[in-house]
Structure 1
Amino acid sequence: MNIAWATDDNGVLQLTLNDSPLKPRDTEKALRCAIRNYYKRRRLAKPDQGKVYHGTSVATAPNHFMRAGDFTRFADWRFVHRARLECVPLNGTKRFGNGDKRCRRCGHANETLSHVLNHCGHHNVTLTRRHNAILDRLANAIRPSPGAVKRVNQTVPGFTDGLRSDLVVINEGAKRVTIVDVTMTFENQYETFEEARREKRTKYDHMKRQFEEEGFEVFLEGFAVGPLGGWDPANEHTMNRLGISCKYSGLMRKLMCSDAIKWSRDIYVEHVTGVRQYKVPGPDAEET
């Protein structure tokens, strides 16, 4: 390419590419895009800073708050960008030195963000509340057809295994059963969503087979949302099966992603400071 500056007949400076003049507006736009793509490629190439973005870039819902901040607290905004880049201060994310990397709460060998937000037993109560925030939005959006029974976090009659699937809708008349289990897996590449859904299908496969033997048409799937607002596009099929309207599903995606970020920020801050970030009214106030 031959890039040069030249002056036109009026003495105005003009940028040319291979002797063809370039429009300033188009040139500026092309340069902005090139710079943006350059830094995006650099970020995605980092082994520890590109993994989350693979899980949050496959859909638009995880980034819905970028321009207007909808449904997102300032505290969540400050947290989520550093968290998605694995840049929050934790023992396991220290770049230099040979300091202690153990979890300060449970003693796990490596205090990483995925451990804090998904596996640290010290936060079991808050992890459950985060999971239930997603489940409640999904369950409340369903309007079962006449004759259908909706069960939320309950055992299913006829099964003695004690499993409490998150959401089961049984329509005896239409001989249709829908089994959905919410999973919140850390966004280490998009493949983690796929693996989480496979685990849910395996976990409840015996239930699916028994219903099919009784003549039911069965839908069984996991519903995956990441703790940093990741959204699995496969959730769309599940929402269609549950009869959630397209108009509301667009809003629900955003609310769920923001809920996940909100609770994850509170878990992280509580982990680092030891101060619980929400109040529990009534007899549950002593939960730890």
Structure 2
Amino acid sequence: MRWGRQFSPTWALATYNPAREGSTVDDQETYLGTPIGGKLRFRPPTDLIPNLDKIAASHLAPWQKLEIFRIHLLPSLSHHLASGRVLKDCLTQLDTECRKFLGLICNLPNHATVPFFYADRRVGGLVTCRLTDDADIWTIARAAQLLTCRDPTVRNICREQLHDTIRRGFRNEHPGVLPVGEYLSGSVDGGLYRLRYAEAGSNLWTLARQAAKRLGVRIDVSGDENLRIVADDVSVSPVKAVRGLRKVARQRYTRDPISDKSHQGVVATGLSLEDKSKDMARLVSCRTLLSFRDWRYLHRSRFDILPLRGHSWFCSQEQDTSCRRCGKENETGFHVLNHCEEGLQLATKRHNTIQDLLESLLVKQGHDVTINNAIPGQRLRPDVEFQLSGSRVMVDVVVCYDQPGSMENAYQRKYDKYSSHGRILPLVVGSLGSWYPRNDEIRSILGINGRSWGAFRFRARLAAIQGSMEMVCAHFHHGAPNPEAEDIPPLP
């Protein structure tokens, strides 16, 4: 059986039934590289894994490798995934290989949490697509697009085949109006639990039903021309189904690190406090300002899976868990980035870099600022002080661990410390790039324009990350390294 050029491959996949054409169940054709026929499941011909090996072995920067993976390699499978008939075990294997590749370029161990690879970049994720989810997304999108096709012939044929599939699933015993929406949504209500799939056979509509059930998607067909695809808080038309459902999947993976009660999700909760800007996305894009050294330690630090003695999975209970440098407290990411006495010099340098950025911003806004000026009769020295409408205004910078509780406590400590001496505006920045929402009060009170404030916010978060990565590197190498050095020895 040969398809004419006037038929699209998706329409052919939806309407072809070998039993009706007098063909045998083993008949199969290839249309634009996609098998069509009785053998409804296939392994896509792909050179994804060899290409991953080539990119991994190349001399590209890690962020460039990530960009090639997201922009070029993953979309190369979209044509095959759109058929909805790719074997799931094949996609699962490819997903595993992709995670190994991403773990390599991000310097992550095998026990890194899986949602990290698919979560939004604003919480530290890599915002890639999971192929098993993407296959279901394409299946649902193609089914919905065929049912609302502008060509009335294609639309009517597809709807009739869908109705026929449902009737045969009920063995032609279902009276009244067919539950089309409930069927496509994977529901078992209204007697749908009695469906016999062997009677209906396997086609695009049965595959779409299974995909919707796996993704938790509801397909609303209450209006002939207003079919909607609904999942969580997202409702999209068939034309925008792929983008909308990918957004839903990304949101679900983003919620996983935030709700993670283990140490791997702590920093993600801090990063999620600020969700309006694209600062974090810029840091993992191909135009990132991070160095090779920063990239090497950043992702491990954010998931607190650096090889530190304070973690039970790194050292046995019999071994010493105290800091290898100062010998105090358990050696965790929280201690290394904020409390280790041996890292105090670098922590001060990190603080002063952010303070200098703040001073430059305020001077450009026309404020006459003083730096580290002692309050008369007190030993307190606010970082930045200036006059506003005749009143003393103080801005004090604090860099703390990226945990909402730690950032809130740091803000309150600064307020309690300086509030009796004038108006205090604490500036709280996370060690790994978090931004405390109340920092934006500085902008609103001082009337700083959005562009200047956005540039300052990005540079301050970048400075915090770069300073923290210098501290981590110095911690493992027992001395401050040359900031320009890129050939950093591997972690112990």
With the length of structure 1 as denominator, give the TM-score of the two structures: 0.79
Name 1:88's counterpart in structure 2: 306
Q: Which amino acid aligns with 1:162?
A: R
Q: How far does the alpha carbon of each residue in 1:211-263 deviate from its partner, in whole angstroms, 9 at most, with x for none?
A: xxxxxxxx312100011011112111113334433211111111111111111
For structure 2, the 5+ residue unaligned runs are 1-11, 18-35, 37-82, 85-138, 144-180, 185-204, 209-236, 484-492
1:244 equivalent among 427, 437, 448:
448
Q: Distance in 1 between matches of 2:433 and 2:264?
A: 16
Q: Distance in 1 between matches of 2:419 and 2:482?
A: 37
Alpha carbons 2:365, 2:448 under 8 Å: kept: no
Q: Which amino acid aligns with 1:85?
A: F
SS at match of 2:425: strand
Which structure 2 residues correspond to residues 115-154 of structure 1 after superposition, within 5 A? 115-143=335-363, 149-154=368-373
CA positional deviation for 1:62: 4.1
Alpha carbons 2:257, 2:268 under 8 Å: kept: no
Which structure 2 residues correspond to residues 174-213 of structure 1 after superposition, within 5 A? 174-188=389-403, 190-208=404-422
Q: Which amino acid aligns with 1:151?
A: T
Q: Which amino acid aligns with 1:128?
A: T
Which structure 2 residues correspond to residues 222-233 of structure 1 after superposition, within 5 A? 222-233=426-437
**Greater than 2 Å deviation, 4+ residue runs:** 6-44, 60-64, 66-71, 143-146, 239-245
SS at match of 2:387: strand
Q: Summarize the Cα distance change of 1:43–1:205 in structure 2 as closer, same or farther, 3 Å threshold.
A: closer
Give me the CA root mean square deviation.
3.0
CA positional deviation for 1:78: 2.6
Name 1:263's counterpart in structure 2: 467
Alpha carbons 2:363, 2:369 under 8 Å: kept: no
Name 1:66's counterpart in structure 2: 284
Q: Which amino acid aligns with 2:262?
A: P
Determine whether 1:276 maps to 2:480. yes
CA positional deviation for 1:63: 4.3
Q: Which amino acid aligns with 2:478?
A: G
Percent of aligned pairs sharing the same letter:
29
Q: Distance in 1 between matches of 2:382 and 2:280?
A: 26
Which structure features the higher share of helix residues? Answer: 2
Rg larger for: 2
Larger relative contact order, structure 1 or 2 (CA cutoff 8 Å, min sep 6): 1
Q: Distance in 2 between matches of 1:247 and 1:145?
A: 12
SS at match of 1:142: helix
Q: Distance in 2 between matches of 1:41 and 1:63?
A: 17
Q: Distance in 2 between matches of 1:58 and 1:141?
A: 23
CA positional deviation for 1:94: 3.8
Q: Summarize the Cα distance change of 1:131–1:145 in structure 2 as closer, same or farther, 3 Å threshold.
A: closer
Name 1:170's counterpart in structure 2: 387
Q: Which amino acid aligns with 1:199?
A: R
CA positional deviation for 1:164: 0.9
Q: Distance in 1 between matches of 2:355 and 2:447?
A: 16
Which structure features the higher share of strand residues? Answer: 1
CA positional deviation for 1:123: 1.5
For structure 1, the 5+ residue unaligned runs are 1-5, 209-218, 280-288
Q: Summarize the Cα distance change of 1:95–1:38 in structure 2 as closer, same or farther, 3 Å threshold.
A: farther
Q: Distance in 1 between matches of 2:281 and 2:415?
A: 28
SS at match of 1:170: strand
Q: How far does the alpha carbon of each residue in 1:189-211 deviate from its partner, in whole angstroms, 9 at most, with x for none?
A: x2322221111111012212xxx
